[in-house]
Amino acid sequence: MADGKEFTYSDISEHTSKRDLYLVVHDKVYNASSFVDEHPGGEEVLLDVGGQDATEAFEDVGHSDEAREILNGLLIGNLKRAPGDAAPKPSTSTTPGAPKTTSDSAGLGIGVYALILVGGAAAFFAYQYLQSSSAQGKS
């Protein structure tokens, strides 16, 4: 990465195509052009936020540590805010400048999967019970 390279929103907004795609996450500028075809969520997701601040979209999904490492590999510079640019949304993380953790949403996701698993098991056993009761009634 070019450590001192700074980009304005105006600079970034010129890079919105699949072959030339810049985006901002936590005031850092990333060139996502080489990753568009590999993005697990599909290219449309990246193209929708191309040329603009994608912090909220990135954090809302709850990306993994591996995704954050990939993002670090795409880093090309920092955002230089101009007068009139929207201020960054405050982060709820404890470390200044650190990405927001998504443990709350991850915990909810695990709970939903557990509920589905328990519900599926209950339905299976209920079905087995009804089948055995039906078979005993026919004998």
| Per-residue model confidence as pLDDT tens digits over 83-120 | 767 766 655 443 344 444 444 445 566 777 788 889 99
3-state SS, residue 114: helix
Q: What is the pTM of this model?
A: 0.60
CATH architecture classification, 6-79: Roll (3.10)
pLDDT digits (tens, 9 = 90+) for 18-68: 999 999 999 999 999 999 999 988 899 999 999 999 999 999 988 989 999
Whole-angstrom distance, CA of residue 80 vs CA of residue 27: 8
The domain locations on the chain are 6-79, 101-139
DSSP 33: G
Of the candidates 56, 54, 53, 51, the one whose C-alpha atom is nearest the C-alpha of residue 21 is 51
Structure tokens at 66: 């591996």
- The answer to whether 73 and 1 have CB atoms below 8 angstroms apart is no
- The answer to whether 75 and 1 have CB atoms below 8 angstroms apart is yes
Q: What pLDDT is attached to residue 81?
A: 83
Q: What pLDDT is attached to residue 97?
A: 45
Whole-angstrom distance, CA of residue 100 vs CA of residue 59: 7
Higher local confidence (pLDDT), 80 or 105: 80
Strand order in the sheet with 16-17: 6-7, 75-79, 28-31, 20-25, 16-17
- The answer to whether 6 and 77 have CB atoms below 8 angstroms apart is yes
Whole-angstrom distance, CA of residue 44 vs CA of residue 27: 22
Query: Has residue 136 got a pLDDT over 60?
Result: yes
